[in-house]
Structure 1
Amino acid sequence: MDMERSAVIFILLISFLFKSYGQQAKPSSSKIKFEIGPQFSMPLNENFRTTHYLGFGATSRAAYYFTDEISTGIRINYDYFLGKKYESPTPDRYFNVTWTSLLVNFQYDLKKEFYFGGDAGIGIININGITNSSFNTSVYFGKAVTVFKTSIGMAIYWTQARESTSRNETLGLSAAFRFN
């Protein structure tokens, strides 16, 4: 069911982008733009949430703008989740987790500096030296704000990593500095 829902959302997003592209195509002032900044992620699914605290890390994006509204690019995310303590005869902790993602990105910029987009790609999850790869997807919505003549993209995002029989989900917040 989750995969079907993701496919429907992806198709609707692409349809909206193509429809909007045909109606509002105008040249962009700068074709390639970059973003980089911190992010915080909260585990959502039961297993991940009971074993790990809030994650922190960084996000970066390089994008090619076809118009002022439509872009595609590459996003790299890195998150570090601290393991929680658990009860046992000798109290111990779950191992910390690093989650690195290399994603292909599509983004649509709306009026008033709002934007939304989606990513898909590979995730590498490392737990105590053991590395697993996964298929990652994410969707996000944000607003660009200007602080001291610097544009910062504030976004909330949902990410899912799927391995063969399990998945991890997070809800996050990022604040990326935007460079033209």
Structure 2
Amino acid sequence: MRKNLFGRGYVLFVMLLLVQLVVFAGTPEQVASKTGLDQDLFATLNVQVNGTKLGVFIVAVTERALHSRVSEKLLETLRPYVGKNVLYVNPTVESVVPSFPFHPGDFKVTQDGVPDFVPTASDWMEISKGFLAGVFVLNPGGASYGSGSEGLLLMDGHIDITRPFTVSYG
């Protein structure tokens, strides 16, 4: 994946609904149309974890991303991170589970000319309580939307999100 990418209750509802569209049922064009995000601001990863499909929606936290279909509450959460080299990360699964073997430390971000970045716990900020421990919550839209979690990956000087980079998981 080569992309330039970009709290609770209603925020989680909106983002988990978007993630369901993105991860489980859409081309980048469809996702862009539904979310209002430019295609260069988001990416999706789909991986199998213990036989279950884990979808991860990743968005670059930029001013342009804030002009998409984002709730006011999420805007409040994200706005302080605009221009600070941050990614919004939303893992989700189709089933309703209280937890999932999702490990933020399994991400790797690569970019030409700089060392690979493998984030540690201190590089993350939880939006959803328990994000770092793989705690998932029921999507407020209902069980048919599955469950997920939200966090921010603070890239600092490791990777420049204004240049092409690759995110992998697992």
Give the alignment's TM-score, normalised by structure 1. 0.29
Q: Which has the higher contact order (CA 8 A, sep 6+)?
A: 2
- Greater C-alpha Rg: 1
